Chain A
Amino acid sequence: MTDPARDTDMREQARLVIVGGGPGGYAAAFRAADMGLQTVLIDPEVNPGGACLYRGCIPSKALLHVAQVLTEAREGPDFGITFAEPRIDLAQLRSWKDAIVTRLTTGLGSLVQKRKITYIQGRARFLDERSLEIDESGGKITRLPFKDAILATGSRPIALPGQPPASPRILDSSGALNPEEVPGSLLVIGGGYIGLELGTVYAALGTKVTVVEMTGGLLPGVDRDLVSMLKRRLDGLFADILLRTRVERLKEQKNGVMVDLVDRDGQKRTQRFQKVLVAVGRRPSSGELGLEKAGVTVDDRGFVQVDAQRRTSAPTIWAIGDVAGEPMLAHKATHEGRTAAEAIAGRKVAFEPRAIPAVVFTDPEIAWCGLTQDEARQQKREVKVVKLPWSASGRAATLNRSTGLTKLIVDPESERILGVGLAGPGAGELIAEGVLAMEMAAVADDLRLTIHPHPTLSETLMETAEELFPRHPGR
């Protein structure tokens, strides 16, 4: 088992231990504690928050807000207001962003205390299906027996094969969130949401951004009509978007990174960028946790396999969030965490969402939930699709942003809403209505007959539903 030379203190058996303090782990801990379960939460950071708060959703949205302010200021001349060229103080920008992260994570830390959850700063490994060994931050090794455990260790960025070790020139998403300088040029490898969001930030700060994507389009898997709304803008914002292009080699030099690119015709060229951001995806953090000792089955992509209640193949161990499967989204983890905590408390619950929203926080934002048009086509499923371009929206016009689209995918017979797609500013906020509509099994008529405030972008959902109903000529 463990090295006999090392002293291990035995902790008292935990009713529930949660490994990982991200949005899945802390949500599970709060729910469990609220139901009266004695709960232990383990995370390497001083406070809960996980990748989402420390290195993901929150810092990136802070930076994207800054990018938005810069972009809108530059559009001022359109309506007769011209600002001087902005002066960017990166140290101040970082400390503002870090203050947000600190405020939110200490807030979570005090909620943990208030609920009398035992918080252990450290890294845990399973010894078997009933006990953990914890490498605590003070250097102490302790052993913790438990009745139930929830695994919520999340995911981490994928590195390119053969990629030189992380350096100030070759960044992953975590590094890119702490800009030390505004590079003159940046190559973003990967046209997924992380690459496009961070690319947007750097482009707004003044960097010449090039995006390289292996497949034939940005945001693979998202309906093309939504993506095209974004691409029109990114074509102007980014120096270049290279589709169906592969990165063959990265070579770090004194003044930049030499990148070998191979385009779709097999043509090779070499280009120098001051910095490179690798954003080719994330993989579940399921290694080095002793899962094999605990009898937890992991699939070939590294995801821990779970049942509807999020229980793994080891009956005392549960898994939630990124480590338990796609989609790797914080809000999915939170819901799974609550479900697992309730199941452990003996409630008959299951993770059974009708829709999980996804948002890309670019400008314009892209958001969708439920069935996509692409999936309907692949499944040979008959659907009715109605689209409304935002050029018809008064609110969009007043925002100086008429590029946008609202789309409803409905069942052709019942007109029940099967999917919602949005592109445009605020799409991430608007999609919540689509998710609620799907969860409530709403039909298009329900959206049409619900009064939406005027003038807002939310009206486009009501008006798109209206498009489904016959118009009588002459009336």
Chain B
Amino acid sequence: MLQEVKVPEVAENVTEGKVVSILVSVGDEIERDQSLLELETEKAVVAIPAPFAGVVHEIKVGEGDTVAVGDVIVVLETDAKAPRAAAAEREAGEAAGRPEPQEAPEPAEEPEPEPEAPEPQEEPVPPEEPEPAAAPRAREPEPEAAAPASPSVRRLARELGADIHGITGSGPTGRITAQDVRDHVKRIVRSAEREVAPAWSEGAELPDFSRWGPTRTEHLSRVREITAEVMTRAWTTIPQVTQRDRADITDLEKFRRSHDRRLAEGAAGLSLTAVLLKVCATALRTFPRFNSSLDVRRKSLIYKEYVDIGVAVDTDRGLLVPVVRGVDGKGIAELSAELAALAAAARNKQIQPQQMEGGNFSISNLGGVGGTGFDPIVYPPQVAILGVSRAATEAVHRDGRFEPRLLLPLALSYDHRVIDGADGARFLRWICAALEQPWLLVMKGSTP
């Protein structure tokens, strides 16, 4: 609805006045009591307030006009939509009461100034008309987005590559000082250093190999990159010791062969790694320190009440370590089948990342490839790893004579911060003994 606003009786005996300035424009949404215009009368210049809220539909007077009490000055559209609760301007007198609106939206720390809004065109200007001569406009980024920092501090932040809007100021009313900027950057650098340490990628520059012959460059795969990073961390942060031993698996092999012969045609046989899994699980139960992780920051050792063991699998993508869960609760045949499935999944790229997380201990069996021995590297945050090489028949002096026995070379690397040398030797000897006399496995907790 359109409603007219008339010149009110501003003072006694005042019948007319001159419009000094108009304070609103057509289209402005105004609130009740907002000043519409200033009227100069014989007595004073008075502001004429809006008697009700609305949107300015028409302004009937111009600056310099003389108007009488009762003349229509402005037409307001009153049902245009509920007036919004913003844009309330408080003049000096009211402001002296210093109201503290609690619910007001936080104006600071907005990400970026909005793109400059198009100029509100008061009236569409036909092209043949002269353009209104504007005053020099002082337009700058929206102050609400402006972080409370001086120009030199803002420049410092920009030079250091820090977003000024992300910095908390320590000065009065949150003002950001140069020191705040430096502290902010220092914090970021420190936390970044923690995340990437040690920076395996910060190696020395390589010589130009093409001086000696042709080369080919291949970008590292993600698996290779992760392996490089983890192995660097393991090598540079874990003081590790490798304990070697050999297990006589002559009887075990005899059993494995006879078991496999009884299996149906095509069924998977019992793998040595499955037997090793079962043996290691029992050993980990017996020696709980080997089933722990070291929490360096809190200076504590975390013992795990479950036994999950990773098994290194050689794939064409690189080394993958799927984890067999709850090994201590499973039988060797079951483990053998599960292991075969996991290894196949790893090679077929069907393994899920979560199937390679969270192992407590690792086994790396290179016996299929060959070799007489190697020292594995502990895979953090685990504390020990068992390396297995190829078993070979050797002459062993037993009961006064040499006998051909099948010996399996084993190497246990462990984190010396957690495990002492004697414990390392005992753990590996326990495994060897268990392989030599498997019935010991059922006598859990005993030392062979």
| B136-153 to A contact mask, C-beta < 8 Å, 1/0 | 111111111011111100
Q: With A and B bound together, what is the CA distance between A222 and B38 in angstroms? A: 16
| A220-234 to B contact mask, C-beta < 8 Å, 1/0 | 111011011001100
Neighbouring B residues of A369 by C-beta, 8 Å: 138
- CB–CB A356/B139 < 8 A: yes
Chain B interface, number of residues (Cβ within 8 angstroms): 68
- CB–CB B62/A243 < 8 A: yes
Neighbouring A residues of B107 by C-beta, 8 Å: 381, 411, 413
B134 within 8 A of A: yes
- CB–CB A280/B95 < 8 A: no
| A227-250 to B contact mask, C-beta < 8 Å, 1/0 | 110011001000001011011000
A176 within 8 A of B: no
Q: A377-B28, A439-B150 are in contact. Are A348 and B161 (CB under 8 A)?
A: yes
Q: A224-B23, A380-B86, A386-B95 are in contact. Are A231 and B133 (CB under 8 A)?
A: no
A401 within 8 A of B: no
Max count, chain A CB within 10 A of own CB: residue among B84, B90, B123, B149: B90
Neighbouring A residues of B84 by C-beta, 8 Å: 380
Q: A215-B122, A281-B133 are in contact. Are A161 and B127 (CB under 8 A)?
A: yes
Q: With A and B bound together, what is the CA distance between A350 and B149 in angstroms? A: 15
The main secondary structure of chain B at its interface with chain A is loop
Q: Which residue of the partner chain, among B29, B92, B101, contacts A412 with CB atoms under 8 Å?
A: B101
A314 within 8 A of B: no
Which residue in chain A gives the minimum CB-CB distance to B147?
A441
Q: Which residue of the partner chain, among B128, B132, B149, B161, contacts A214 with CB atoms under 8 Å?
A: B132
Which residue in chain A gives the minimum CB-CB distance to B169?
A441
Q: Which of A357-378 contact B (CB under 8 A)?
A: 357-360, 366, 368-371, 373, 376-378
- CB–CB B23/A225 < 8 A: yes
Which residue in chain A gives the minimum CB-CB distance to B88?
A382
Q: Which residue of the partner chain, among A214, A326, A387, A440, contacts B130 with CB atoms under 8 Å?
A: A214
B63 within 8 A of A: yes
B129 within 8 A of A: yes
The main secondary structure of chain A at its interface with chain B is loop
Q: With A and B bound together, what is the CA distance between A20 and B144 in angstroms? A: 35
Binding stretch for chain B, among A42-50, A76-84, A146-154, A466-474: A466-474
Which residue in chain B gives the minimum CB-CB distance to A332?
B138
Q: With A and B bound together, what is the CA distance between A438 and B151 in angstroms? A: 10
Neighbouring B residues of A162 by C-beta, 8 Å: 128
Q: Which residue of the partner chain, among B89, B136, B159, contacts A327 with CB atoms under 8 Å?
A: B136
Q: Which residue of the partner chain, among B20, B23, B100, B136, contacts A231 with CB atoms under 8 Å?
A: B20
Chain A interface, number of residues (Cβ within 8 angstroms): 92
- A200: shortest Cβ distance to chain B, in Å? 14
Q: Which residue of the partner chain, among B87, B131, B134, B176, contacts A221 with CB atoms under 8 Å?
A: B134
A347 within 8 A of B: yes
Neighbouring A residues of B92 by C-beta, 8 Å: 385-388, 467-468
Neighbouring A residues of B20 by C-beta, 8 Å: 228, 231-232
- CB–CB B134/A235 < 8 A: no
Binding stretch for chain B, among A6-14, A132-140, A187-195, A450-458: A187-195
- CB–CB A348/B89 < 8 A: no
- CB–CB A348/B159 < 8 A: yes
Max count, chain B CB within 10 A of own CB: residue among A215, A235, A419: A215
- B105: shortest Cβ distance to chain A, in Å? 9
Neighbouring B residues of A160 by C-beta, 8 Å: 130
Neighbouring B residues of A115 by C-beta, 8 Å: none
B72 within 8 A of A: no
A3 within 8 A of B: no
- CB–CB A220/B87 < 8 A: no
Neighbouring B residues of A280 by C-beta, 8 Å: 130-133
Q: A189-B130, A385-B91, A471-B96 are in contact. Are A231 and B135 (CB under 8 A)?
A: no
- A325: shortest Cβ distance to chain B, in Å? 9
Q: Which of B345-392 contact A (CB under 8 A)?
A: none
- CB–CB B140/A356 < 8 A: yes
A288 within 8 A of B: no
Q: With A and B bound together, what is the CA distance between A443 and B98 in angstroms? A: 15
Neighbouring B residues of A168 by C-beta, 8 Å: none
| B167-179 to A contact mask, C-beta < 8 Å, 1/0 | 0000011111000
B203 within 8 A of A: no
Q: A281-B131, A355-B140, A369-B138 are in contact. Are A217 and B38 (CB under 8 A)?
A: no
A216 within 8 A of B: yes
Q: With A and B bound together, what is the CA distance between A384 and B95 in angstroms? A: 7
Q: Which of A311-363 contact B (CB under 8 A)?
A: 326-329, 347-350, 352-360
Q: A161-B127, A219-B135, A280-B130 are in contact. Are A412 and B90 (CB under 8 A)?
A: yes
Q: Which residue of the partner chain, among A360, A418, A467, contacts B143 with CB atoms under 8 Å?
A: A418
Q: Which residue of the partner chain, among A219, A348, A384, contacts B90 with CB atoms under 8 Å?
A: A384
B207 within 8 A of A: no
A158 within 8 A of B: yes
- CB–CB A376/B87 < 8 A: yes
- B81: shortest Cβ distance to chain A, in Å? 13
Q: Which of B374-414 contact A (CB under 8 A)?
A: none
- A171: shortest Cβ distance to chain B, in Å? 14
- B114: shortest Cβ distance to chain A, in Å? 9
A414 within 8 A of B: yes
Q: With A and B bound together, what is the CA distance between A369 and B137 in angstroms? A: 9
Q: With A and B bound together, what is the CA distance between A439 and B176 in angstroms? A: 12
- CB–CB A326/B175 < 8 A: no
Neighbouring B residues of A385 by C-beta, 8 Å: 89-92, 95
- B128: shortest Cβ distance to chain A, in Å? 5
Q: Which residue of the partner chain, among A214, A327, A350, A440, contacts B158 with CB atoms under 8 Å?
A: A350
A74 within 8 A of B: no
Q: A380-B86, A385-B90, A414-B108 are in contact. Are A216 and B140 (CB under 8 A)?
A: no
- CB–CB A195/B133 < 8 A: yes
A416 within 8 A of B: yes
Neighbouring A residues of B172 by C-beta, 8 Å: 443
B239 within 8 A of A: no
- B59: shortest Cβ distance to chain A, in Å? 7
Can you report 28 residue pairs joining A to B where beta carbons are below 8 Å apart? A190-B130, A213-B132, A214-B130, A215-B132, A216-B22, A216-B63, A217-B21, A218-B63, A224-B38, A231-B63, A246-B129, A352-B141, A355-B138, A356-B138, A370-B140, A370-B143, A371-B143, A376-B87, A385-B95, A387-B91, A388-B92, A412-B99, A412-B101, A413-B104, A414-B173, A414-B174, A415-B173, A471-B96
Interface residues of B (CB under 8 A from A): 20-23, 25, 28-29, 38, 59, 62-64, 84, 86-92, 95-101, 104, 107-108, 120, 122-123, 125, 127-144, 146-151, 154-155, 158-159, 161, 172-176
Interface residues of A (CB under 8 A from B): 158, 160-162, 189-195, 213-222, 224-225, 227-228, 231-232, 235, 241, 243-244, 246-247, 264, 278-281, 326-329, 347-350, 352-360, 366, 368-371, 373, 376-388, 411-416, 418-419, 438-441, 443, 467-471
| 6 additional contacts (CB under 8 A) given A161-B127, A214-B129, A216-B62 | A217-B22, A218-B63, A350-B158, A380-B29, A413-B107, A468-B98
Which 9 A/B pairs are nearest by Cβ-Cβ distance? A190-B133, A192-B133, A228-B21, A441-B148, A380-B86, A358-B138, A219-B135, A224-B21, A380-B87
